[in-house]
Structure formats: structure tokens, C-alpha cells
Structure 1
Amino acid sequence: MLFRFFIHFIITVVAMSYTNAHANAIRFVAEDLPPYHYLNAHGQPDGVLVEIAKALKAHSGLDAKFDILPMARAHYELQTKSDVVMLAWLKTPSRALNYQFLGSMCQSSASLIGLKTNSASLVSLEQAKRFRVSTIRGYYSEYYLKEAGFSEEHDLVLASHYKSMWHMLYRGRTDFILTNTRTLQRELDELGLDPALLESKLTLNDFPSELHLATNLQFSKSQAKKLRESLVAIKASGRYDEIVRKWQLLN
């Protein structure tokens, strides 16, 4: 009888420990955007920021899983779930009021890109209003362009994914695209498109450039602290730079 009680007690303790650990698990979410984060040939989350997040998981001791989702779904999860960490989200003043930003994961560089056969020369974003300009629906770049006076009724053509956006440009369905130039080469290689046909038409120096780990305000403050401290630690140790060099990504 005592032995059965002891076994039952051990099973209960183990089950409670597993439940508590599972309840405290976090979820790193991101969209499909190589080389930052994507599903590899084996259907597993991969990419430079996924590898950095795995280093954060190991250093912090936090239980974590990884999900690659459509951007709209990833954003919804970030807004509504208290266990979600967005792997890379542009930090802006308005977002900083409603979300926790835990540290910079990488830098971006925004430009208007067009075909070389398009002889238009731009010195300001205002001049681009004479043309069709595209970006991805739901991105901060959509908000940025609309704030600058672009509209879907006149000069703004939104795409659902970077793949369709690039095809729109190469097929002449839009004149310029607003994109992160640091991912340009990888995206074009994946699509089999010739980057030699492109040129930067206008660098947008006022566009936010830091991509951060981000959570909503309901995310555990203690877990957020662990992630912040772990990101600082792996940068200080050189592990962060090692991963970035491995992926041949400049930061």
C-alpha cells in the first residue's frame, strides 16, 4: 500500500513539473523570410535569427518552440497571446508604447528598388507618387507609405508575399518596390530572378532600421528579462557574431 502511494506521489510530482514547464514555455514566431527565418527542406524552422533564438533558449534556460507563420497570423499571435515572441519586428515609437522590445536582432536597410530599364530618377519619396509603388500588405512599410500620402486608389500596389511582390516588379505590374535590401539577393536567388536587372532608385534614410525581439505587454516580465540578458550575453561572448558570420549576413 505504501509502495503504491509512493509511486502515485512520484507520478503526480513529475506530471505537475511537466505541466508547469509546458505552461511556462514560450513561442518564437516569425514569417517566411529567408535568410532570417523560414522552413528548410525538411520543413523545420531555420535561418540566422532562428539560430540566434536557439542560442537565447539555451542561455536563458527557457523552454521554447518555433513557428513560421504567414505575417498576418504571426502579428495576430503577437497581439493576442501572452507566450509569443516575435523574432524580428521593426521598432517604431508608436509600437514601443504597446509592446515590449527586448533587444536588436539585426539591422535592415530600406530602399525603393526598380528595374534598370525604368529610366526614372528619384531624389525624394514625393516624386515616386507619379509611379506605382509596392510593398507587402501588413508590413510597417505599408503604414510608412500611406503616412507619406500613397494610397491603394492611386499609386500603392500591395502584395501578399515577397515572392509575388518581386514577380510584380519583373513583369511590369509595378514600378518600384519598398524592401529591405539586405534580404534582396537571397530572395531573388530563391525565385531565379536576375538581380543585375535591378538598381536602387532611392534610399529611405528615415525608415526605421532595427529589427527587435518583441512581445506584447502581457508577456511575462521575468521571461522578458531573461531574454534581454541572454541577448546581451551572447553578443558579449561573440556567439551572436559567430552565427551572423556563418550565415554571411552583415549587421
Structure 2
Amino acid sequence: MFRSIWIFLLLIVSSFAFASSNHVYFLTEVTPPYYWINKDGKAQGVNVDLANALEPLLPFSSSLEHMPWARAVQETLDNPNLVLLSLLKTPNREDEFEWISSVNHMQASLIRLKQKETAHVNSLDDAKQFRVGSIRGYGSASFLQQEGFEENKNLALVAEPALLWKLLYMERIDFALANFETGKYEISDAGFNPNDATSEYVIEALGADLFVATGLKTEQDKVSSLKHALSILKANGEYARILKKWGLEPIESAH
């Protein structure tokens, strides 16, 4: 199975080099609610609906593909006509991409079980008396360490989201540091009820906008066409409808 998946990915990447100059590939990763495969094997999510809504508004053909995100980002830097959906805009990426349009805002918070009513915090310093969990290698984990959290003391790092939510729901940690909008889907996938959790404290320093973005090798006329198409979807309300369909709220700064 894994061999066939990698062959499929290689075929996609190989096709980029020979793709028509009048075609654009939208790229996404498997991250609910932006993109995932349901039990019937059908792709669904925000990015599926967004790509479908953009297609008839563009003067060139387009298609949506998924692949591991690190690979998708690198391919977009190296090749023209690849467009990343939902890329976090960070200072070190600022000059590496054409930032076509913001599409949503990601905000991390400390998430606790509703039943754990003694776990209340008003600052990161307050949280240091509790055990906080995050994903090893994520920026949020590095942020906690920079703020003075120590692994095996008040910081628990795990390899994947399912393990993070298991620690929270088994009450091995007091808080999980994550985005609650996407976290609700991860919690469900891990076999728990997202209604049993709540966002306790929003960490403003970990907020960032998600953008539709392409590499600097993509022609400017395509960039302009994509910007125009996205502006239409926002003006006619379709963009907001797509986000709300998947439980996300559009932000005023998305433009």
C-alpha cells in the first residue's frame, strides 16, 4: 500500500515538469478540516471546496493534489504553476512566495477537558504549574520551551496529534496546546468527543494567517488571475460559506 502511494506521489511530481503552461496544480496536505479522505474514499474539506469554486473563475485549467507538506512547499519553491492552499505566512517565508490572498487565521490555545474545572489560567506563567502537551518538532513546542517549560516536568511532547489528545483525555496532561478548530477533527479521529474539551487560554503570540501562495517562478498573469478569482469568492459570499460549512469562521482581515 505505502509503495503504491509513493509511486502515485512520484507520478504527480514528475508530471509537474511536463505540465501545460496553461494549467495550475493546487496542493494541499491531509489536515482536517482543510483536506482529508472520508470513509468512502472521497476527498473533502475546505481546500476541496475552495479549489472547485476557483476552477470556473480561472482562465486556465486547474486540479487539486495532496502530498506531504514539506514536499509540497519545496516543489512549489522549485517549480512554476504550483499553488499551495492554506500556507502559514511566517517571517522566514516572507520573501520566498507570492502571497495571493489570506484565507483564514490559525490561533493556538491551551485546551482542557471541561470537567477539569480546577485547571484555570490567565497567563503562560499560570500554566507552568500544570502539565502542558504539544507535538514534538512543532513551532508551538519550541515556543513553550523558549518560555521556560521543561520536558518531563511541566511539558509533555508526543509524535502525533492522536497521542496528544489521548494524553489529555486520559488526564495525563492538563492542557494540550493546539488550534481548537482543527483540533476538534483530530479529537474525533482519535476516538474522543470534542464537546468534552474547551479552549481555556488563547496564546496571541502563536496566531498566524493562512494564505493561498505560489512560488516566485509562477507567471504574474496567473498570480493576478488567482487574486481576482479569490476576490470574487469573497465578495459574493462563497468563501465565507465554505469556511462555515466546515466549522470555521471567516475573519475580516482575510483579503
Bin of the TM-score, shorter chain as denominator length: 0.7 to 0.9
1:180 aligns with 2:182: no
Identity across aligned pairs (percent)?
34
Distance in 2, Cα, partners of 1:75 & 1:160: 21
Name the amino acid aligned to 1:55: A
Query: C-alpha offsets along residues 137-162 of structure 1, whole Å, 9 cap, x if unaligned?
Result: 55443454355345657655444443
Gaps of 5+ in 2: 1-16, 251-255
- After TM superposition, the structure 1 stretch with the greater mean CA deviation from structure 2, 134-143 or 23-32, is 134-143
Deviations for 1:99-142, whole angstroms, at most 9, x for unmatched residues?
Answer: 22211112333211123437333221234344443334554434
What residue is the counterpart of 1:114 in the other structure?
112
Change (3 A) 1:85 1:202: same
Which whole-Å CA distance do the structure 2 matches of 1:242 and 1:154 have between them?
44
TM-score after normalising by structure 2: 0.74
User: Aligned in 2, Cα 1:30/1:140: closer, same or farther, shift over 3 Å?
Assistant: farther
Q: Distance in 2 between matches of 1:80 and 1:146?
A: 33
Q: 1:229-248 to 2 correspondence within 5 Å?
A: 229-248=228-247
The Cα of 1:237 is off from its aligned counterpart by 2.1
What residue in structure 2 maps to residue 13 of structure 1?
none
Q: How far has the Cα of 1:213 moved from its partner?
A: 0.9
Range with bigger deviation, 115-124 or 145-154: 145-154
Task: Sort the Cα spacing of 1:228 and 1:153 in 2 relative to 1 into closer, same or farther, 3 A.
Answer: farther
Contact 2:112–2:197 (8 Å) recurs in 1: yes
Distance in 2, Cα, partners of 1:186 & 1:131: 25
Alignment of 1:212-231 (within 5 A): 212-231=211-230
2:203 is aligned to 204
Structure 2 equivalent of residue 86 of structure 1: 84
Match of residue 101 from structure 2: 103
With 223-232 and 153-162 compared, the bigger mean Cα shift is at: 153-162
State the superposition RMSD in angstroms: 3.0
What amino acid maps onto 2:212 in structure 1? L
Rounded to whole Å, the distance in 1 between the matches of 2:58 and 2:180 is 32
Matched to 1:225, the amino acid is S
CA contact (8 A) 1:30 1:71 kept: yes
Corresponding position: 1:68 with 2:66? yes
Instruction: For residue 218 of structure 1, report the CA deviation from its aligned partner.
Output: 3.0
CA contact (8 A) 2:51 2:63 kept: no
